[in-house]
Structure formats: structure tokens, C-alpha cells
Structure 1
Amino acid sequence: MAGVVVGVCFDFYRSLRRYLRWGRVSTWAGDLLFSLITLVILFRFFQRANALDFRIYILWGSILGLFLYLRLLSRVLIKGYLQLFRLFSYLFWLLRQGLRIPVRGVFILMRPPYALLHWFSFLVYRILEAVLAQPLRQTRARLYNYWNTLFSPRTKG
């Protein structure tokens, strides 16, 4: 039974890796994680079988179960896993499309208030520019003239 469970986990991992098209680094990390999960699975089975008393027949039974699983059921389960991944991908796509509809509705509903706010802020900007720009220009010109009277070219002599 331990070999069959390890084989099912291996096929799940292998089909997920193929479906997602992992690169080298993620494949290496996934292999490491799979090895740790397999170690935990085998540890649990060995603990149940003989209270961690290592017997060679447990190891041979696990290898035989894995071999039989890979020969008899592996191809069917890999196809099933790939179909399951496609189904989940499609359901996720449907969920994403379903969430886009309300978001687009909010965008459409918020367009007029945003346009009014944009127009109003631009109007306030132009009014403040007209009200404040002329006094600021005049103040700058007065400061420039005052500076020139302090350090006029005639007094440098």
C-alpha cells in the first residue's frame, strides 16, 4: 500500500510539473519537497506496519506496490490529473471573468463622478492660478527691482 500511495503522489507531482512547465530551479525545489513528502509517507506506513522496526519485506512490499502501480494505473491517473488541472484552470478562468463584470460595472458607474471631480479640480486650479499668479509675478518683479536698487551698477565703483 505504501508503494501505491507514493506512486499516486509521484504521478500527481509529475503531471503538475508537466502542466505548469516548471523551470530547472522550481523542478529542483519540487523534487526536494516531493522527496520529503515521500519520506513522511513511508515513515507513517513503516510505523503502522512494525512500529518502525525495519524489516526487509516492508521495503520489498513498498517497491513491489510502486512497480505494480506504475505499470497498471499510472497512465490513467496522469490523464485524469491533467484533466483535473484543466478543469480547475477553466473554473478559475470563469471565476476571474465573473469577477470582472462587477469591476467593470463599478468603473462605468464611477466615470461620471470622476469626470465631475476632474473638471472641478481643474477649475479650482485655473482660478487659483489666475488669482495667485499675478500677485506672485508682481512680488517677484518688486523683489528684483529692490535687489537692483541695493546693488546698482552705479554704486560699484
Structure 2
Amino acid sequence: MVFDFYRSFRKWLNWGRILTFGGDVLFSLVAMGILFCFFERANALDFRFYIIWGSLLGLALYLRLLSRFSLRCFNGFYRLISFLANLIHRAIMIPVRALVLIMRPPYAMLRWLSMLLYRIGEIILVERIMRINRRLREWWKGFLPPRINH
């Protein structure tokens, strides 16, 4: 069932071939490690052929009888989770949209006022800055020797 959960999850997320292959290899290694731990604990490191045979037979029976049903259940679960997440997202967006609608006129007024103040400050300060710039150039030219043109 865990493999079916993983398989349905990767199908739901639409993984590519490379990611699917890597995930399958990783899942197989983890599953093999878990099976090894269970076999070790159950049989005290005494591996017998019937353990492997029973595991493979159980896997084949599960895949033949229950796998389709569990895949359908998992896919239904994913659709339900997706529906609920979409519903929650819509519920959260209702007050956000209302706030955006309410704040649009004050934002427009603040934007207009800030642009007006910026332009006024630009007119007042640019002239002064240009005057200071000219004075600094003249002051600096006083330190330099005169240019000789050939």
C-alpha cells in the first residue's frame, strides 16, 4: 500500500521520467532496508527461501487484488485535498479582494500626492544643486593651473 501511495502521489504531481526513476530507486532501497530489518528481527539473521517466496507472493496477490482499489482511493483523496485547498484559498482571497477594493481610492490619492511632492521637491532642489555644482567646479578650477592650448 505504501508503494501505491507513492505511485499515485508521483502520478498526481506529474514527475518526469528522470525524477520518477530516481524516486523509484530510492523507494526500492528504503523498502529493501525496512524488509531486511523486519527479516532480521523475525528470524534472527536466519534467511530462508520461504521468507522471500512469501514476500513475493504477498506482493503479487496485493498487486492483483487490491492495488487498483487503493490507487483509486488515493487519487480520490488527492482530489479531495486539492478541492479543500482551493476552497480555503478562495475563502482567504475574499477579504483580501475586499481590502484591495477599499484601499484603491486612498492609495490613488497618496500616489498622486507623493508624485506632486516629488515634482515640487525636484524643482526646488534641482536648481540649488545645479548652482552648488557650478560653484564647486569654479572653486576646483581655481586650484588647477591654466590650460595651455597649442
Report the equivalent of 1:30.
Answer: 23
Q: Which moved more, 1:56-65 or 1:93-102?
A: 93-102
2:72 paired with 1:79: yes
Q: Which runs of 5+ in 1 are unaligned?
A: 1-7
Report the equivalent of 2:85.
Answer: 92
2:127 paired with 1:134: yes
CA distance in 2, matches of 1:114, 1:18: 45
Q: What letter matches 1:124 in structure 2?
A: L
Report the equivalent of 1:119.
Answer: 112
Report the equivalent of 2:49.
Answer: 56
Query: Which structure 1 residue ranges, 4+ long, deviate > 6 Å from structure 2?
Result: 140-147
Displacement, 1:123?
A: 1.8
Q: TM-score, normalised by structure 2?
A: 0.77
Displacement, 1:41?
A: 2.9
Q: Report the number of matched residues.
A: 146
Displacement, 1:114?
A: 2.3
Q: Which runs of 5+ in 2 are unaligned?
A: none
CA distance in 2, matches of 1:10, 1:16: 10
Structure 1 vs Structure 2 CA RMSD:
2.9
2:62 paired with 1:69: yes
Q: TM-score, normalised by structure 1?
A: 0.74
